[in-house]
């Protein structure tokens, strides 16, 4: 695994110098006593720099499975919910875009119950009832 020792000496010392300028002796002692704190620091940096995976990322299959579960639960008890036919799930499976890059990016499905303004209103009411 690559680490700072793979960098040129001057660059590595420059980075360590910046860390040392901002770190108190007490923090240095804590890291020396508990090396797992380096993992905590590294994970925080990776989150900040957006190197880690989005914790909400789901595959298309997982997304559609969740949608199917909601579809079964809501159809019949939510007066606004129209049961989504399997052909729609098939279309969504083939047309879903890849998960967008970035920690705060998401993918949503476009499903509307009905046409035009009435369809928009009915879709809103169906989802609002589900959320309630």
Residue-wise pLDDT for 55-113, tens only, equals: 788 899 999 999 999 999 998 888 888 899 999 999 999 999 888 877 778 888 888 89
pLDDT at 29 over 70: yes
* The pLDDT value given to residue 106: 86
Classified as helix, coil or strand, 29 is: helix
How many Å apart are CA 95 and CA 18, to the nearest integer?
48
Q: Are 120 and 111 in contact (CB under 8 A)?
A: no
Q: What is the pTM of this model?
A: 0.56
How many Å apart are CA 72 and CA 66, to the nearest integer?
10
């Amino acid at each position: 695994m690559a680490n700072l020792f793979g960098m040129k000496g001057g660059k590595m010392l420059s980075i360590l110098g910046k860390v040392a300028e901002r770190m108190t002796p007490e923090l240095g002692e804590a890291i020396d006593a508990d090396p797992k704190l380096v993992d905590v620091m590294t994970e925080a940096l990776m989150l900040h720099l957006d190197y880690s995976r989005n914790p909400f990322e789901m595959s298309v299959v997982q997304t559609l499975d969740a949608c199917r579960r909601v579809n079964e639960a809501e159809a019949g008890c939510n007066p606004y919910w129209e049961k989504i036919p399997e052909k729609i799930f098939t279309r969504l499976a083939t047309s879903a875009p890849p998960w967008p890059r970035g920690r705060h990016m998401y993918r949503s499905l476009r499903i509307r119950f009905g046409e035009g303004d009435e369809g928009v209103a009915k879709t809103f009411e169906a989802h609002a009832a589900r959320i309630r």
